[in-house]
Structures are given as structure tokens and as C-alpha cells.
Chains A and B, each alone.
Chain A
């Protein structure tokens, strides 16, 4: 333990001294390594450390939070005293002696990051880079990078428990810029997992880079996308950004407890078409968004959010579950980017579950529409549920067949309407890693879905 039990207990009690109902110390020690090749050379090898603690008091609907990277007893006591002044009651709860609560480590790491030398990692990236340059003379620039995270967190709370989690993540990214002398186009791909360096052996990086180079070069001859409402087939894998934005964020505790989500007070009601079932599951082995314990000491769950179109659950943390009406329990998905952020409910691995349709049949069912295969990301206003996402690899569908590639387009809609317009769900569920920015910072999340059909959505292309 990075903080002695005695010091932690003292600090937790100081935090409770003015009427807090719950207090907590969150410790984080996160080391990341970034290896980047760009411009046909090593561009950067960088090591970073995030190290510090966040102290939190919850009292009714009030949260008092503070953070510091100075872990000395004097610093922690001073900060705790300063924070306790944020409330003005009398001590109601006392922190008992702290005991360590063992948590089963979810992700099994086969090969730690240190098992490959820096030289071997950079050679791996260089091989992928070479393949991309060789793909076409139109390839102008290639970026190949490796991100490694080794994080240790500890949660000490006023209920008398200490939890810890060791989180390992690895991601490789390829990006290619192509030009025909008149314009530039770019494409990228970035597989990642809650794994060690074994991920590099599992991913055929050369093949991946070839595919990225092909996409970038193909985009040079892509036509303008259409403008207006069309049936859209959204591909599996990172297509899950649709659900993440349209429904995931509005189902998070912050929006639900503030009663600012269109899905608040809609439990057990029909919010999506019958073919839609959706899950947030922080327990998927070795997945990018998985955690052994969340950032407030609650075990992650497989949380069925929607079952056959019926809203069955929200995503909640200690604070938001209590704030609704006290009848809900936290779902083990309280997260934060770092000790500098107040934690709140965030998605982990969130996906629309597999359906029964063959993806080929889904495409064949569209007379005139769009097939979105690759995505850059999206955004939502959880209060209105107006969402957008951008597809960077997309094609026209004509008479049930994939036709010309189109330039990147954004698609927008209201989440609560789009969920009802999902008419076919494929049997090819696949998940993909991503980064999600929200009130508690940038978190590692997985999105996912099978190929699915939305009967109508607004497409923002420059064509007719």
C-alpha cells in the first residue's frame, strides 16, 4: 500500500469531520510509454508518469474534492482539513480500521511490456511503416505508434476497505496520409486491449498498415457523399460509436441523476426497436475498457442496459445511485482519467448485442443508401440526445450492392429516435477500443455492435 493504514484512516476521518457521509482516498501511479515512428524515422520515445491522490467527501448531494501529487502525511492532512471546510456539519460517521479487500485481477497479462526491448518494438513499427510506404507512391506520410500503460490504483474508503487494481493496456496505431498532388487524404486504425506486449504478436501489423494505406489511397478517388436522409448500414466493430453517443452517455449516472436525460424515469419502458439489446460490461477478459475494480472500489458488472428494446438498467456510481432515490446500487463503472478528476459513471465496454441477420442480407435490403465501415468518433448532448458521428470510410449502396466510396461524412440524429429506427441487427458482433472524453476526463472505453441498419438518418455530404 502506498499510504499507511494509519495515515489513511486519519485522513479519511478528517474528511468526515464536518458531516460527510462517505470519504475516500484514490491513489494513482500510472506509467505510460509511447513509441512513435513518423517521417520515416523514430519520432519519439517518451516515458510519462502520473502520480498523485484525489480525496473525496460525499455529503447528501454535495461532493467536495481535492487532489495533490505530494503524498507526504503533512500534505494529505492539510488538504483534507482544507476540504473538510467545504461542509459545515458535525462528524456523523467514523472510519473504522482499514482492511485490505482482495480483488481478483481480471486481465491476465501473458507478456509484460518489459519483455520486449525498445529496439524490438521500434523494429515492429518500422516493418509496418515500410509496408504502408510500399503500398503506393501516393503514400506521403506514415505514422506507426505503440502506446503502453501500466497503472496501479488504490482506493481507501471510510467504510474501512482498501482496494487495488493493476491495469495494463497496449495499443498500436497506424495512420497514413496519401496525396495525388491535388489533395490529401488520411486513414487510420488502432487495435488495443487490456493486454501486455502479446498484443503485438496477435495483430498482423503489416496487414493492418496495408489496409490503412489502401483506405487512404482509395479516398483520393472517393466521390462526394450525399446530403439528406438515407437508410444507413452501420458496420460492426467501431460502428458501436453510434450506441455509445446516441444512448450510452444519456444512460450514465450524471445525466440520469440530474434528470436531464431523455431516458431518465424510463426504466422498463420501450425505448428501442425489438431487435436492440445493449450491454455495458466491465468484466470482459483482457478488453480495453475492462477493470478489476472501479475507481471507487466497486466491482465491475455485466450490465444489461436494454433487452429487446426495453430499458432495463442505467449505469450508476455511489453518488448518482443514491441521488436518484436510494433504490439503485452502483454498477461498478465509476471512472476517471486521473487523480485530478472527480470520478463519475462512465462506460466500460459498451455494445449492441448480436442479432440474427446476415450482414450481406442487411446490405442487400437497401435500395439506395450508405454503408459506413470506418469511423473517427462522435459527440452527444446528453440533455437533448442530439448526437453526431463521422464515418471516414463509407460507400454508397445501390440496389443492394456496395458501390462507390464517398468522402468522410457526418451523420446526426436524436438518439431516442434512432434507437427505434434500427430495423435489422447482424450476427457479426465485434468490439473496438476508443477514447471517451467527458466530465471525469478521457477514459479508455470499448464500443461495439454487429452490422445494423438504421432506416433513416441525416447524412451531411457535399453531393446532391
Chain B
């Protein structure tokens, strides 16, 4: 379905809506879910979404719809007029007029090999069979294979024109493992921006990781409550770092509700940490422009623990007389797209070797409830392994780790080299001085 952008802009102009901006996205998803070696669900979805915003008499109107037909331009304009009557006071400068170059994100490969629904089925069934045969403790397995094709476009009457396409396959494997009257679950995922063959290549690692999670924790016990020196796996670091970095939203700092306000060029975390904004890397969170249409950019967020950049929208950048950095998230808020924590040359085993008695945390849960984005306090169920005399030992679960993310990232002693791409965060493991564990 194509939209006539000029028609929208023309009707908006006739109704004195200026600036007027239109974001249009189309997504086609094809998904196959296999449960215990039988195809259970097949989904083909086509969806469109139109997001419009505009200023009328200095106030912002906002409207979104996925109903797109010949009546939509008129409906969009009517709703912008209505919602702007008492809307947010807004400035023209908070609309990007275009004119800058976009660096392509690696999310649309010309070498992408298209696969049909039946090919997805075949591969999902093969993977499901592999999982079932990999370990006798695997009782149930669910494999979900998805092909996503999408296109985002953004236009406004000031001259903005931005377009981006994305297509990829994603694989999600979850297992239920049972033995000795105990049941545990495991899961892992992978993506490919080129082909199902690549998904098949990555599947072995995904399967082994999901099964390891399930099998290792059967009949595992909680460790004693206390403060432990520990290693956090890439998955755990990614979960926690996303919340930590959200505090670098320049809007929160300008409104005096961020613990990082006024900390630019100051040490905010361990010297072991250097974190870069890498929005063009091959990742499902990568993008070449932000929600304001501004080009995303590569920059250093934190260098050796020193905060070098906040995330800026057009509004926050103007307030501080700095250049926007393509992190606009709407209504002046700002967020990073993809952050990469720089690895060291040390292996993960070298990190373990620095721990006489401690814990290796491999999974945290309850992120929707157990982290306070404002205070950065956390109290999260977790699982992992004891570390004894520098070696990974028995699995432990049904424990809670707690603390404050500022303290945790301040307490980082070392970074390893086992970098994992976990969508919006690319990171290796971290060795931390101490973490509070509630257990036995």
C-alpha cells in the first residue's frame, strides 16, 4: 500500500498545520512455531502504521492509525487539529528539516535470500528435531522462526525525507528439561540478516545454550545469603546496562530527575568501562535515523568510566547548545539505539580465576518489575553458578541479586573478550567486586 505524502502535506497546509510530519511504516511478518516436532502455529501478518504530528498555534497535535485508505489524509488532519487544541507547547525547531546524510544501518542486505512459509516450516522442524535429540532430559521444545520485512519512511513539510528498509530472520528456541522430579527451562535466540542457512549455522549454538540453561539448573539449590564477588554474563550485563544507560537521557537531566545530571566529563563508573553508541551495527535495534528523523551517529558515551555524552533529542540539544546525536525518542525524550561495551583481551576464564569464592550470574529475571528506572535500585531473581577457587562450580538458582546499578558499574574490576550481540547492547562479561545475594 503506497501513500501520497504530498496529499497529506497539502491538506495539512490548507489547515495551517505547520510543521507537519508523517512517519509511515509497513511490516510483513511470517512466523512458524513448532511445538514438540509438530507445526502448531503459522502466521502471516501485514501491518501499516501512520504516525502524524503537527503544530497548530504553537501547540502539538499527535495522531496515529493503521487504517490507511482514501479518507485517511482528512482524518489525520482532523485529529491533529483536535489534539493540538490543548496539546504540548511546541517549537518549530523541534522538527528536523533534513539536509543531513544518513549512514546506513546494516539491517537490509542486498544478498538476503528469501524463504517461503514452507521453507521456514522445514527448517523449524529440523531444528526442533535436533533439540529433542540433543539431550534425553529435554522433555518439551518450542521453536519459533520468523521472517520480518519492514520499511520506515519519514517526511515533513520542512524538507525531511528519510527511508529505511530492514529484513531478517529470527530464531527462538525454548526448552523444558526434566529429571529427578525437577523441571527447569532454558531459551536462546539468534538473528540473520542474510539467510535461513545462516540461521541453521547459528542454531547449534542456540540449542546448546538453551539446553545448558535447562539441564544445568535441575535440582540446583540456592546459595547462602551474602555479598559475593562475581562475574556477570553478557546476557546479564545487557539486561542491566540498558536500564543504566536510560539515565543518560538528556531530558531527565535537564528536568533534574536523573542521577547523572551535571556529570559530563566526570567519572561515573569503573575505569574498566568504555561504552560506544553504535547504531549502525548489524542488530535488530540498529537504525539510520531516530524517531525525529535525525541521522543516528557513532559516538563515545563513556570512556574509561568518564561520561562524555548524553543522549540528545533536537529539543535537549538546543537547550544545551550542542549538536543533536540522533537519539530522539519523541516528546523531547532521548534514548540510545545500540550501545557497545568495549571488550578487553582477557578471556572469561581469566575473570573467573580472579574469584576465590563468588558467583557467576548467567540470567536475571523480572526486569519488568524489579528495577526502578529512577533510582536504579534493583532486586531481581537470578541464577548462575558458584565460583570456587577460580573455577565455575555448582549451579545455583532461586536466589535474588540486589543493589544499585550505579554502585554495580562502579564496582567493575575487569571486562572480558567474549562479546555477544544482544540486540540493543553488545557486551562481554564483567567481573564485579561485590553483589548482594539473597538465598538460603
A and B from one assembly?
yes
Q: Is the CB of B402 within 8 A of A227?
A: yes
Write out, one digit per residue, whether chain B residues 39-64 have a CB within 8 A of any chain A CB (1) or not (0): 11111111110000000000011111
The answer to whether B39 and A62 touch across the interface, beta carbons within 8 angstroms, is yes
Instruction: Determine the chain A residues whose CB is within 8 A of the CB of B44 once the complex forms.
Output: 65-66, 79, 82-83
Is A69 within 8 A of B67, CB to CB? yes
Q: Are A46 and B83 in contact (CB under 8 A)?
A: yes
Q: A64–B255 contact, CB under 8 A?
A: no
In the complex, whether A427 has a CB less than 8 A from a CB of chain B is no
- Asked if residues B436 and A227 are in contact (CB atoms below 8 Å), the reply is yes
CB pair A384–B183 under 8 Å, yes or no, is yes
Q: Given that A63-B41, A461-B402 are contacting pairs, would A409 and B379 also be in contact in the complex, using a CB cutoff of 8 Å?
A: yes
B1 lies within 8 A of A70 (CB) = yes
Looking at A203-211, A272-280, A290-298, A371-379, the stretch in contact with chain B turns out to be A371-379
**B39–A44 touching, CB < 8 Å:** no
Flag if A410 contacts B380 (CB, 8 Å): yes
State which size class the interface on A falls in.
35 or more
Q: Indicate whether B38 reaches chain A with its CB closer than 8 angstroms.
A: yes
Residue of A at shortest CB range from B38?
A: A61
Instruction: Say whether A458 faces chain B, with CB atoms less than 8 Å apart.
Output: yes
Report whether B89 and A48 are in contact in the complex, using a CB–CB cutoff of 8 Å. no
In the bound assembly, the distance between CA atoms of A128 and B358 in angstroms comes to 49
- Do the beta carbons of A437 and B368 come within 8 Å of each other? yes
* Stretch of B12-20, B288-296, B304-312, B369-377 contacting A (4+ beta carbons < 8 Å): B369-377
Flag whether B225 is at the interface (Cβ < 8 A).
Answer: yes
Taking a contact as CB atoms under 8 Å apart, the answer to whether B185 and A381 are in contact is yes
Residues of A within 8 A of B115 (CB): none
Residues of B within 8 A of A160 (CB): none
B366 to A390, Cβ gap below 8 A? yes
Q: Closest Cβ of chain B: how far from A320's Cβ, in Å?
A: 11
Query: Inside 8 A of A69's CB, which chain B residues have their CB?
Result: 46-48, 66-68
For the complex, give the distance between the alpha carbons of A390 and B369 in Å.
Answer: 6
Cβ B369 vs Cβ A462 within 8 A: no
* A61 neighbours in B (Cβ, 8 Å): 38, 40
A184 at the interface (CB under 8 A from B): yes
In the bound complex, what is the Cα–Cα distance between A45 and B62 (angstroms)?
7
Q: Which residue of B lies closest to A376 (CB)?
A: B369
* C-alpha spacing A413/B257, complex, angstroms: 34
Which residues of B lie under 8 Å from residue A109 when comparing CB positions? none
Q: Contact check, B369 vs A86: say whether CB atoms are below 8 A apart.
A: no
Q: Does B365 contact A (CB under 8 A)?
A: yes
Taking a contact as CB atoms under 8 Å apart, the answer to whether B79 and A227 are in contact is no
Is A185 at the interface (CB under 8 A from chain B)? Answer: yes
A47-B82, A184-B257 given as contacts; is B370 within 8 A of A228 (CB)? Answer: no
| Chain B binding surface, main DSSP class | strand
User: A342 on the interface (CB 8 Å rule)?
Assistant: yes
A-B contact pairs, 8 of them (CB 8 A): A42-B88, A68-B47, A70-B46, A184-B257, A227-B438, A383-B185, A384-B183, A388-B370
Looking at B257, B400, B437, the one whose CB has the most chain A CB atoms below 10 A away is B400
- Residues 39-77 (chain A) with a chain B CB within 8 angstroms: 39, 41-52, 61-70
* Contact A460 to B438, CB < 8 A, known contacts A184-B259, A228-B225, A388-B381: yes
| B379 near A45: Cβ-Cβ < 8 Å | no
Contact A410/B400 with A44-B62, A69-B66, A458-B438 known, Cβ cut-off 8 Å: yes
CB-contacts of A410-452 with B (<8 A): 410, 412-414, 437
Q: Which residues of B contact A377 (CB under 8 A)?
A: 368-369
Contact status B372-A408, CB under 8 Å:
yes
Q: Does A173 make an interface contact (CB < 8 A)?
A: no
**Across the interface, which residues of B come within 8 angstroms of A265, CB to CB?**
none
| Max chain A Cβ within 10 angstroms of own Cβ: one of B47, B117, B255 | B47
Chain B residues with CB under 8 Å of A50's CB are: 66
Task: Please judge, given known A-B contacts A42-B88, A86-B42, whether A228 and B365 are in contact too, CB under 8 Å.
Answer: no
The answer on a CB contact under 8 Å between B375 and A66 is no
In the complex, the answer to whether B88 meets A260 with C-beta atoms within 8 Å is: no
The yes or no answer to A106 lying at the interface (CB within 8 A) is no
A-B contact count (CB 8 A): 222
Q: Bound complex: CA of A41 vs CA of B380, how far in Å?
A: 35
Q: In the complex, are the beta carbons of B377 and A407 less than 8 A apart?
A: yes
Chain B residue nearest to A182 (CB atoms) is B259
Q: How far is the CA of A258 from the CA of B142 in the complex (A)?
A: 11
Q: A41-B89, A46-B63, A63-B40 are in contact. Are A52 and B366 (CB under 8 A)?
A: no
Residue on B with the closest CB to A463? B436
Q: Tell me the minimal C-beta distance from B112 to chain A in angstroms.
A: 21
| Interface set, chain B 388-440, CB cutoff 8 A to A | 397-403, 436-440
7 A-B pairs with least C-beta separation: A460-B400, A51-B67, A377-B369, A227-B438, A410-B379, A46-B62, A49-B65
Q: Judge whether A389 is part of the interface by a CB distance below 8 angstroms.
A: yes
B residues engaging A (CB < 8 A)? 1, 35, 38-48, 60-68, 79, 82-89, 117, 140, 176, 183-185, 222, 225, 255-257, 259, 331, 365-366, 368-370, 372, 374-375, 377, 379-381, 397-403, 436-440
> Chain B's nearest CB lies how many Å from the CB of A454?
15
B167 to chain A, nearest CB (A): 19
B437 to chain A: which residues have CB within 8 Å?
227
A119 at the interface (CB under 8 A from B): yes
Given A61-B40, A383-B183, A408-B377: A51 and B47 within 8 A (CB)? no
The answer on a CB contact under 8 Å between A378 and B366 is yes
Q: How long is the Cα–Cα vector from A119 to B87 in the complex, in angstroms?
A: 10
Q: A69-B47, A460-B438 are in contact. Are A45 and B86 (CB under 8 A)?
A: yes
| Complex contacts, A185 vs chain B, CB 8 Å | 374-375
Residues of chain A within 8 A of B79, CB atoms compared? 47
Using known A-B contacts A39-B255, A379-B369, determine if residue A184 contacts B375 with beta carbons closer than 8 Å: yes
In the bound assembly, the distance between CA atoms of A217 and B380 in angstroms comes to: 24
Contact between A118 and B436, CB atoms less than 8 A apart? no
Which residues of the other chain, A, contact B140 by a CB distance below 8 angstroms? Answer: 258-260, 383
Q: Which residues of A contact B379 (CB under 8 A)?
A: 225, 390, 408-410, 460-462
Residues of chain B within 8 A of A378, CB atoms compared: 366, 369
Cβ of A186 under 8 Å from chain B: yes
Q: How far is the CA of A66 from the CA of B117 in the complex (A)?
A: 12
| Complex contacts, A242 vs chain B, CB 8 Å | none
CB-CB under 8 A from B48, the residues of chain A are 69-70
**Residue A138, interface by CB 8 Å:** no
B41 x A340 contact (CB < 8 A): no
- Cβ of A130 within 8 Å of any chain B Cβ, yes or no, is no
Docked-complex contact B255 and A386, CB < 8 angstroms: no
| B43, B61, B176, most chain A CB atoms within 10 A | B43
> Which residue among A61, A66, A184, A460 has the maximum number of chain B CB atoms within 10 Å of its CB?
A460
Partner of B370, one of A39, A259, A390, A413: A390
Give bound CA distance, A82 to B28, whole Å.
14
Chain A 17-56 near chain B by CB (<8 Å), digits 1 or 0: 0000000000001000000000101111111111110000
Q: Are A460 and B398 in contact (CB under 8 A)?
A: no
Q: Within the assembled complex, what's the spacing in Å between the Cα atoms of A22 and B185? A: 33
On chain A, the residues within 8 Å of B62 by CB distance are: 44-47
8 Å CB contact of A62 from B40, B372, B397, B440: B40
- Distance, CA A375 to CA B368, complexed state (A): 12
For A44, the chain B residues whose CB sits under 8 A away are 60, 62, 87-88, 331
Which among B38, B40, B184 is the interface contact of A384 at CB below 8 angstroms? Answer: B184
Q: Which of B39, B67, B84 has the most CB of A within 10 A?
A: B67
Q: Provide the bound-state CA to CA distance between A222 and B425, in Å.
A: 33
**Nearest CB of B to A51, in Å:** 4
CA distance A402 to B437 in the complex (A): 25
Please give 5 more A-B residue pairs, beta carbons under 8 A apart, in addition to A70-B68, A185-B374: A44-B331, A47-B79, A51-B66, A177-B257, A392-B372
Whether A140 contacts B65 in the complex (CB less than 8 A), given A340-B47, A407-B377, comes out as no
- Interface of chain A residues 239 through 271 with chain B (CB within 8 A): 258-260, 262
Complex Cα distance A390/B46, Å?
37
B-chain residues with CB within 8 Å of residue A407 when the two chains form the complex: 377
Q: Does A202 lie at the interface of the complex (its beta carbon under 8 Å from any beta carbon of B)?
A: no
A-chain residues with CB within 8 Å of residue B63 when the two chains form the complex: 46-48
Residue of B nearest to A459 (CB): B438
Question: Which of B42, B140, B438, B440 has its CB near the most chain A CB atoms (within 10 A)?
Answer: B438
